[in-house]
Amino acid sequence: MPPDSHDAPAPISSRKAEHIALCETDDVAFRAQTNLLDEVQLVHDALPELALEDIDLSVTFCGKTLKAPLIIAAMTGGTAQAESINRTLADVAQRHGLGFGFGSQRPLLSGVTEGYAVRDVAPDALILGNLGLVQARETSTAAIERLITTCGADALCLHLNPAMEVIQPGGDVDFRDGLKTITRLVQELSVPVVVKETGCGLSRDLGRRLVDVGVRWVDTSGAGGTSWVGVETLRAKADQRALGERFWDWGIPTAASVVQLADLGLGICATGGVADGLAAAHAVALGATAAGVARPFLQALSQGGPEGLERRVRLVLDELRFAHFLSGARTPAALQAKPILVGPRLARWIPKGSPLRDRAML
């Protein structure tokens, strides 16, 4: 459908508020599609020759050390409600040594600052900025550098979201010169660039193109978690809603995206339906550097306040630690060397010649 046939777009702040309300529920989950992390089984080691206290979950992402391979993934920004949410999430990231990602910072380009000031509560945490590729194409490098400085980000996520934009009223449906824009920012920005999807996953072909222009970090944001096509479908009307219903489950599953990218030399954050620490461990075992959790943490905060969020984060970290211990892996790198079992739906995505084929006992 051409851009001029879309409904008139809502103000950005209004749209962001609607996104928060929808993502606090399960109404925007994928329906039939799963992230395929349930196709992974770690192999139990009954004699791990480790004490639980020996487990070292620390990893490096975008040049900063995390105490565990976990990032509180991009969700929101640009509203008064987002201010409270992001500061609470960033505070948790600081205390546990995790990463934290902003939702889209497009509002910041137009002077809306609510939701983007967290450095005072997270002085040492990995903070990931976030801007849509289409907006980045139309914005000078200097202006994007100011955005990064304003929010104190350690890296900039450039999000790709063509499926979401097609359904969104007034969405951006011109993604031309995307690789050129990514190349420019990789070469000119003072911080690393992370190329991320928005719920539909990254393919191997795209991964190769990104490596060729100097990208070193990616975020799968794969199918199986929050369907951002679904989010926009619930906001859309008439014919646009019918189109969204058809494409609600569109995308590459999170686990499939990880195995497609794992041998390309990229640092990978696996997001998309990662709901617990065992799923995060499965993503790491497949080759991800870290896993990103979004909607489950937002829901924990919404339903239980800061205390509920704290309990959920601690549980996820315990699950990650126990998964390593019970697999006999002292570190995430050691977990990536252990044998694993992979189900047939995920096995079809593993490229020929991938080292994972030997580990997965296919």
Dist. CA 199–CA 202, nearest whole Å: 9
Question: What pLDDT was estimated at residue 301?
Answer: 94
Residue with the two structure tokens 């967290």: 118
pLDDT over 90 (residue 218)? yes
Q: What is the pTM of this model?
A: 0.92
Question: What pLDDT was estimated at residue 170?
Answer: 86
Rounded to the nearest 5°, which phi and psi values hold at 270?
A: -95, 105
* Predicted confidence (pLDDT) per residue in 243-264, tens digit: 899 999 999 999 999 999 999 9
* Predicted confidence (pLDDT) per residue in 50-87, tens digit: 999 999 999 999 999 999 999 999 777 777 788 899 99
Domain boundaries, the chain: 22-359
* Predicted confidence (pLDDT) per residue in 283-342, tens digit: 999 999 999 999 899 999 999 999 999 999 999 999 999 999 999 999 999 999 999 999
- CA dist 217 to 97, 113, 289, Å? 19, 26, 10
Going by C-beta distance under 8 Å and a sequence separation of 6 or more, which residues neighbour residue 275? 225, 293, 296
* Predicted confidence (pLDDT) per residue in 196-214, tens digit: 999 999 999 999 999 999 9
Is 222 in contact with 270 (CB distance < 8 Å)? yes
Confidence of residue 176 (pLDDT cuts 50, 70, 90): very high
SS (H, E, C) the chain: CCHHHCCCCCCHHHHHHHHHHHHCCCCCECCCCCCCHHHEEECCCCCCCCCHHHCCCCEEECCEEECCCEEECCCCCCCHHHHHHHHHHHHHHHHHCCEEECCCCHHHHCCCCCCCCCCCCCCCCEEEEEEEHHHHHCCCHHHHHHHHHHHCCCEEEEECCHHHHHHCCCCCCCCCCHHHHHHHHHHHCCCCEEEECCCCCCCHHHHHHHHHCCCCEEECCCECCECHHHHHHHHCCHHHHHHHHHHCCCCCEHHHHHHHHCCCCCEEEEECCCCCHHHHHHHHHHCCCEEEECHHHHHHHHHHHHHHHHHHHHHHHHHHHHHHHHCCCCCHHHHCCCCEEECHHHHCCCCCCCCHHHHCCC
Average pLDDT over residues 182-200: 97
User: Which among 4, 143, 70 is positioned nearest to 297, based on CA atoms?
Assistant: 70
pLDDT over 70 (residue 47)? yes
Please return the burial class of 68, using the count of CB atoms within 10 Å of its CB with bins 0-12, 13-18 and 19+. Answer: buried
Question: What pLDDT was estimated at residue 25?
Answer: 59
Dist. CA 151–CA 137, nearest whole Å: 20
Question: What pLDDT was estimated at residue 306?
Answer: 97
pLDDT over 80 (residue 23)? no
- Residue 355 tokens, joined: 């080292």
Rounded to the nearest 5°, which phi and psi values hold at 147?
A: -60, -45
User: Which among 23, 147, 13 is positioned nearest to 74, based on CA atoms?
Assistant: 23
CATH code: domain 22-359 is 3.20.20.70
Residue with the two structure tokens 């199918």: 223
Dist. CA 263–CA 267, nearest whole Å: 10
Question: What pLDDT was estimated at residue 6?
Answer: 42
